Each structure stands twice: as C-alpha cells, then as structure tokens.
C-alpha cells in the first residue's frame, strides 16, 4: 500500500515507532497535544494521546537503558559522554516517600499532580527518571497556565529501595533524552 499525499500527517495503523529520535519527537508533539486537549476539557482525546505517548516512552526507556546496560561495565564508563548525559538533572525526586506521601499522591485527582512534601527532595537524573518511568506504580501530571507539562511518577518500594515520587517537565526530559541519544 503506498502512502497518499494526505497521509503524511498520520501514522499507518499499528505502525510502531521506528527510531529513538522519532520516539522523542513524538513524545514532545503528543505532550503538546495532550496539554491542549486537557485544558479544553477533551478528556477522551487526552487519554488517547497519553496512551500513544506512553508507547513512545517505552521505546525511549528501553533503548536508552539497554545501551546503558551494554556499556556500564566498560572501562572508563563514568567518564563517557553517554554516562554524563544520563547524569543530567531533569527534575526532582522525593526519596523516601513515606506511607503518608504515597497515600496522599494516590488520592490526587488526575491533572492535579504534586509532590506531597518538599522535605527530602533531591535532584532527579535522566537515568533515574528512566528507571522510575519503567517501574512506575502510578503517574499523575499537571499542566501549568503556560502549557508546561509536568509528570509525577510514584514508584513503589522494591529491591531494597523505598517508595519514591519524581517530578519532571516532559520537555526537559525529552531534551535530555535527545542529548543522550547523540552519544549512542
């Protein structure tokens, strides 16, 4: 089946993201569309857009973490440009998120994401953000008046780690992912 001239704006049905750079670009575009739908009150469109974005995020997470895992035992790993890109700060992390924080987060309505406490906030690196997204328990968000899309991610305790809540701007996250992809 060949593409028609009007089909250049949409993906073919069931077409998967083909590359990391395409996935990053799509998340940025989908985030903008999501914010627009959400602020207009078009919640079904916002939900569909969000589902598409998470498919792209899965591609990004899988690709960047796979490369990290392939390289992290190499000599000089800590001095590589890729490792430095993964260490870029993209947001904030509440660690630990004690039981009350977890409960408060889970009780928030969609679109009202916050970190329930500013005590214990530390910098969130791209590498940690990728892991938090990969292992998330619950996700919430906020859209600022300037259409900034902030994602909040609750990750439950596991493998000796406490509950955490992370916060990052989707645009900053995508910018850091794009930077890291330069060193693959």
pLDDT at 10 over 70: no
| pTM greater than the 0.85 cutoff | yes
With both helix axes pointing from N to C terminus, report the angle between 43-71 and 20-40 in degrees, rounded to the nearest 10.
150
Alpha-carbon distance 156 to 138, whole Å? 9
pLDDT at 19 over 60: yes
pLDDT tens string 104-154:
999 999 999 999 888 889 999 999 999 999 999 999 999 999 989 999 999
Q: How confident is the model at residue 157 (pLDDT cuts 50, 70, 90)?
A: confident
pLDDT tens string 38-93:
999 999 999 999 999 999 999 999 999 999 999 999 999 999 999 999 999 999 99
pLDDT of residue 159: 80
* Domain map (residue ranges) of the chain: 20-181
pLDDT of residue 6: 39
pLDDT at 12 over 60: no
pLDDT of residue 15: 52
pLDDT of residue 16: 55
How far is residue 153 from each of residues 28, 100, 141, 160, measured CA to CA in Å? 18, 16, 8, 19
Instruction: Give the lowest-confidence range in 1-5, 30-34, 95-99, 105-109.
Output: 1-5
């Amino acid at each position: 089946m060949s593409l028609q001239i009007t089909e250049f704006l949409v993906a073919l049905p069931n077409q998967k993201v083909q590359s990391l750079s395409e996935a990053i670009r799509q998340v940025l575009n989908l985030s903008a569309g999501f914010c627009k739908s959400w602020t207009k009150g078009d919640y079904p469109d916002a939900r569909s857009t969000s589902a598409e974005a998470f498919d792209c995020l899965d591609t990004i997470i899988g690709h960047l973490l796979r490369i990290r895992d392939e390289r992290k035992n190499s000599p000089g790993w800590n001095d590589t440009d890729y490792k430095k890109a993964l260490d870029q700060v993209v947001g904030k992390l509440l660690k630990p998120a004690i039981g009350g924080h977890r409960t408060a987060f889970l009780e928030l309505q969609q679109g009202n994401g916050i970190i329930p406490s500013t005590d214990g906030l530390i910098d969130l690196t791209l590498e940690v953000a990728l892991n938090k997204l990969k292992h998330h328990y619950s996700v919430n968000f906020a859209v600022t008046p300037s259409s900034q899309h902030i994602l909040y991610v609750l990750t439950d305790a596991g493998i000796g780690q406490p509950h955490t809540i992370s916060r990052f701007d989707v645009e900053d996250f995508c910018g850091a992912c794009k930077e890291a992809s330069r060193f693959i």
